[in-house]
């Protein structure tokens, strides 16, 4: 049982936290700006590499580099919205989706141009399990990932429920026209959506880097699970995205449990296929997601 938790549940929750952070952004951008943002994965990569630059330049630990990286990613996302997406506000939403693919390619190319393609760790060295949690194998990085996720999700919850802009965001997400006639400024809400989305995306990217390695394709590879998590939870439902992320993370890790024989039930090479399978099942069975989100 303890082996089971060590090998499947803990990695699943860690992975799920990262998925959740990405999925919240995708879900909110979808419900407020009305398009599927395919550059979101690469926004995560960008945040991770900005943090890497800070780590290299000042010799700080990655968590200390986080605030600067979040600010940098927010700046980048606002600039991207201004120059790449805003001109399309009046066109068909799908045209912005094409533009978001273009932005994804641009971000990734810029990262490879600046930092190269070699996988890089934030900090060299091994990361032994902490002794105080015996018999559970929990490493320091696992605690960092879960704590950062909980802090950010709590901050998001307070923003959405206690502040005026948070309420405006929820109103826009529920009914854009109704929100507009009550005098909510569309562009201001959109700007805040990017702030929230970029902060969470950059954090997810940095946490992925802490968990494994920095790679230019890390964000692109996370894109499919993130969309699956957002749809699983229900598009436009931030809490659904958290649920979807955690569920998907755990299911993905459990999929390699040797259920029928000594071999993994599903080969680890196909882990991302689980996300896709869940996505397909949701599209057929319940496109509105677990928490009754929006159907595209």
Work out which of 138, 171, 224, 290 binds other proteins, going by CB under 8 A: 224
Q: How many CA atoms lie within 13 A of 49 on its CB side?
A: 25
Q: Does the footprint of other proteins cover residue 270 (CB under 8 A)?
A: yes
| Residue labelled with tokens 């419900």 | 31
* Residue number with CB closer to other proteins (37 or 142): 37
CA 100 to CA 35: how far, in whole Å?
A: 9
Q: Does 98 bind other proteins (CB under 8 A)?
A: yes
When binding is defined by CB under 8 A, the residue of 19, 38, 49, 122 that contacts other proteins is: 38
Q: Which of residues 120-159 bind other proteins (CB under 8 A)?
A: none
Is residue 36 part of the contact set for other proteins (CB under 8 A)? yes
Closest approach, Cβ 85 to other proteins, in A, equals 9
- Distance between CA atoms of 133 and 256, rounded to whole angstroms? 24
Residue 280 binds to other proteins (criterion: CB under 8 A): yes
Q: Which is nearer to other proteins, 10 or 220 (CB)?
A: 220
What torsion, rounded to 10 degrees, do the Cα atoms 43, 9, 122, 65 define? 60
User: Shortest Cβ distance from residue 20 to other proteins (Å)?
Assistant: 18
Cα distances (Å, whole numbers) of residue 33 to 23, 189, 279 = 15, 10, 22
CB of 190 to other proteins, least distance (A): 18
Is residue 213 a contact partner of residue 23, using CB atoms and an 8 Å limit?
no
Task: Tell me the H-state helices in the chain.
Answer: 2-4, 10-33, 40-58, 62-80, 93-115, 140-162, 164-174, 176-181, 186-211, 218-233, 238-254, 271-285
Identified binder of other proteins from the candidate list 279, 289, 291, 293, rule CB under 8 A = 279
C-alpha distances in Å from residue 55, one per residue of 23, 48, 122, 213: 26, 10, 7, 14
# residues contacting other proteins (CB under 8 A): 43
Out of 35, 49, 122, 192, the residue judged to bind other proteins by CB under 8 A = 35
Using CB under 8 A, pick the residue from 101, 133, 257, 265 that binds other proteins: 101
Angle at 199 between CA 39 and CA 227, to 5 degrees: 40
196 binds other proteins, rule: CB under 8 A: no
DSSP string of 244-287? HHHHHHHHHHHTTS--SSSS-SS-GGGHHHHHHHHHHHHHHH-T
- Smallest gap, in angstroms, from Cβ of residue 169 to other proteins? 20
CB of 94 to other proteins, least distance (A): 5
Cβ 69 to other proteins, closest distance in Å? 22
The residue ranges that bind other proteins (CB under 8 A) are 30, 35-36, 38, 84, 87-88, 91, 93-95, 97-99, 101-106, 108-110, 112-113, 223-224, 227, 231, 267, 269-270, 272-273, 275-276, 279-280, 283-284, 287, 295-296
């Amino acid at each position: 049982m303890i082996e089971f938790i060590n090998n499947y549940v803990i990695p699943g929750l860690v992975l799920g936290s990262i998925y959740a952070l990405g999925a919240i952004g995708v879900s909110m951008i979808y419900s407020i700006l009305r398009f599927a943002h395919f550059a979101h994965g690469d926004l995560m990569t960008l945040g991770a590499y900005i943090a890497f630059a800070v780590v290299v330049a000042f010799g700080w630990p990655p968590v200390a580099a986080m605030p600067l990286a979040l600010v940098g990613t927010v700046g980048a996302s606002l600039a991207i919205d201004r120059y790449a997406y805003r001109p399309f506000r009046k066109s068909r939403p799908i045209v912005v989706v094409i533009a978001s693919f273009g932005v994804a390619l641009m971000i990734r190319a810029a990262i490879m141009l600046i930092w190269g393609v070699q996988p890089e760790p934030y900090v060299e060295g091994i990361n032994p399990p902490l002794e105080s949690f015996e018999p559970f194998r929990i490493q320091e990085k696992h605690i960092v990932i879960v704590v950062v996720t909980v802090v950010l999700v709590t901050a998001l919850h307070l923003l959405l429920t206690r502040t005026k802009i948070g309420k405006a965001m929820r109103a826009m997400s529920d009914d854009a026209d109704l929100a507009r006639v009550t005098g909510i400024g569309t562009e201001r809400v959109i700007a805040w959506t990017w702030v929230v989305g970029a902060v969470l995306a950059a954090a997810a990217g940095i946490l992925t880097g802490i968990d494994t390695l920095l790679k230019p394709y890390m964000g692109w590879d996370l894109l499919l699970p993130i969309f699956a998590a957002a749809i699983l939870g229900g598009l436009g439902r931030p809490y659904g995205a958290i649920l979807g992320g955690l569920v998907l993370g755990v299911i993905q890790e459990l999929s390699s449990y040797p259920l029928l024989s000594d071999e993994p039930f599903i080969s680890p090479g196909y882990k991302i296929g689980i996300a896709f399978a869940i996505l397909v099942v949701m599209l057929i069975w319940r496109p509105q997601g677990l928490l009754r989100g929006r159907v595209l």
